[in-house]
């Protein structure tokens, strides 16, 4: 496919990638996993964190924004299932370019047909079709679209697993969680409520979820990652999602992750637009679902 001047091919962190450039900033997308590796708004520092020990392909990339699909973690799957599904460890290709200007540019990606066949996507998710649209403008927008073209209902969980760069994970706050119930993966999915302002205590792996009354296709939920040391607020607006995962492995957890430096936990915080925990999408035959997030800097 011919690329317009605002999209260029390059190699970034060892991955074949596309760089999108507008007057609002720059973003880099790896074709491996349709993985967003970098987003730098004009005049700002890097927003995303990428592990210096990330493993080479075909392994999943640690950092940036992995696409977890068609399940999150191994929810609803066997213990032998691929962690976070096959989408993030297979090649994707550009399927369409939607706009080209100095103000905004948008492209769509889909898994390569041969990779989908070789990876056994049909066995993992019979009849499912997935695409990802990325738009770089005043905000950075990602939209993951799933369609069920099969004859069976599918229970979908998924995530845009964003790793945000921070000055120090123990010194940032997260707004938008107050009063929400959550499942705690570090306590065998015990449930609790966020009664106080969020702050990291050693480690965190929680799925927060909204009341069913908030569940509509148009509902948008806002979370803010406040980083006083960098004088930065990262605003995350999610859509098609009634849950959000907040994760940091902490000091001890980081020592057991091979593609993460021992002190790397300090440098990022994951706030993930998800359908996970009690927030499962039931896709009937012929149905579709959009999971989106829009990122901005204040």
Q: What sign for the dihedral angle of Cα 193, 198, 200, 202?
A: negative
Element (H, E) at 26: strand 25-30
Give me the catalytic one of 24, 35, 272, 289.
272
Give me the catalytic one of 6, 32, 161, 289.
161
Identify the CA nearest to 261 among candidates 271, 251, 247.
251
Active site residue 272: yes
Active site residue 117: no
What b/e string do you get for 20-59 counting C-beta neighbours within 10 Å, with b at 16 or more?
bbbebbebbbbbbbbbbbbbbbeeeeebbbbbeebeebee
- Token duo for residue 194: 């966020």
Residue 19, classed as helix, strand or coil, is strand
- Token duo for residue 292: 């989106």
Task: Show which residues are catalytic.
Answer: 161, 272
């Amino acid at each position: 496919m011919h690329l317009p001047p605002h999209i260029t091919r390059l190699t970034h962190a060892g991955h074949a990638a596309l760089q999108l450039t507008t007057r609002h900033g720059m973003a880099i997308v790896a074709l491996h996993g349709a993985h967003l590796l970098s987003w730098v708004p004009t005049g700002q520092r890097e927003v995303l964190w990428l592990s210096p020990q990330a493993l080479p392909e075909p392994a999943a990339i640690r950092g940036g924004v992995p696409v977890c699909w068609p399940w999150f973690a191994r929810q609803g799957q066997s213990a032998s299932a691929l962690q976070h599904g096959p989408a993030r460890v297979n090649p994707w290709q550009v399927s369409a370019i939607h706009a080209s200007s100095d103000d905004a540019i948008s492209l769509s990606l889909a898994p390569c047909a041969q990779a989908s066949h070789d990876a056994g996507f049909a066995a993992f998710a019979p009849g499912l079709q997935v695409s990802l649209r990325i738009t770089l403008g005043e905000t950075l927008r990602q939209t993951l679209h799933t369609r069920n073209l099969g004859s069976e209902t599918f229970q979908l969980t998924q995530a845009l697993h964003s790793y945000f760069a921070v000055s120090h994970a123990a010194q940032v706050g997260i707004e938008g969680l107050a009063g929400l119930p959550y499942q705690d993966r570090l306590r065998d999915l015990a449930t609790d409520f966020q009664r106080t302002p969020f702050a990291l205590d050693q480690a965190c792996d929680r799925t927060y979820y909204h009341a069913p009354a908030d569940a509509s296709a148009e509902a948008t939920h806002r979370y803010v990652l406040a980083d006083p040391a960098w004088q930065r607020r990262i605003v995350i607006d999610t859509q098609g999602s009634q849950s959000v995962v907040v994760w940091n492995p902490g000091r001890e957890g980081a020592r057991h992750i091979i593609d993460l430096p021992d002190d790397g936990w300090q440098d990022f915080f994951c706030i993930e637009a998800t359908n996970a925990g009690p927030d499962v999408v039931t896709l009937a035959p012929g149905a579709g679902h959009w999971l989106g997030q829009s990122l901005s800097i204040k």
